[in-house]
Amino acid sequence: MYYRFGKVFYFFSVLVFLFALLYFYAAIPEQIGFRLDDQGILLRDFAKSTFFYGLALGFFILNLITIYTPKTLETKANRKLHRLFPIGDPYRDYLLAWFYSFGGWVNLSLSLAALFVYAINNQDEISASSFAFWFFLMPIILFVWLVALFVLLFKKFKSTQAGIN
């Protein structure tokens, strides 16, 4: 049941990322700066298409990595993982929910990266400092999600040792 909420969150985050990538790609100038000095002068820049393809490739690779494990568990392609988390095991649902929601957080982090590049290059419309809270919050959320995975696995292994499941 929980993994369905995680799946919905994941697919929603994919849509948010695609919207952010396409919207910010259309709104940024041909040369994108990603490093500024104290006076606001660009120190390093690259082409708009490099930003688009680089972020799209990063999105594709990170999604392959994060969604591979839950897909192999759902399709029973990984026998060892399926034996450890069989159908009907409550920890299976939690693990699937964790992986899908983690993929969602990764996608939202990439959307935030696109917003950051947009904010740096359009200082007159939006300042990057106005989103400082989100830039600090996203790594904290990802760290908490990783800690939650270890707690989940610890509880599963503890229940396995006790002979509950």
pLDDT at 15: 96
Question: For the residues of 13-24, what is the DSSP string, one character each?
Answer: HHHHHHHHHHHH
Angle among Cα 139, 35, 48 to the nearest 5 degrees reads 95
Q: How high is the pLDDT of residue 42?
A: 67
**Contact of 51 with 63, CB cutoff 8 Å:** no
59/52 Cα distance (integer angstroms): 11
Burial readout 17-44 (b: 16 or more C-beta within 10 A, e: otherwise): beebbeebbeebeeebbeeeeeeeeeee
Distance CA 138, CA 19 (A): 19
pLDDT at site 25: 86
Instruction: Write down the pLDDT at residue 40.
Output: 65
Using alpha carbons only, how large is the chain's radius of gyration in Å? 20
The C-alpha atoms of residue 73 and residue 92 are separated, in whole angstroms, by 9
Q: Mean pLDDT of residues grouped by 10 in the chain (165 residues)?
A: 85 94 86 71 78 92 91 81 78 86 92 84 70 82 88 83 64
Q: What is the pLDDT of residue 114?
A: 87
- Rounded to two decimals, what is the model's pTM? 0.81
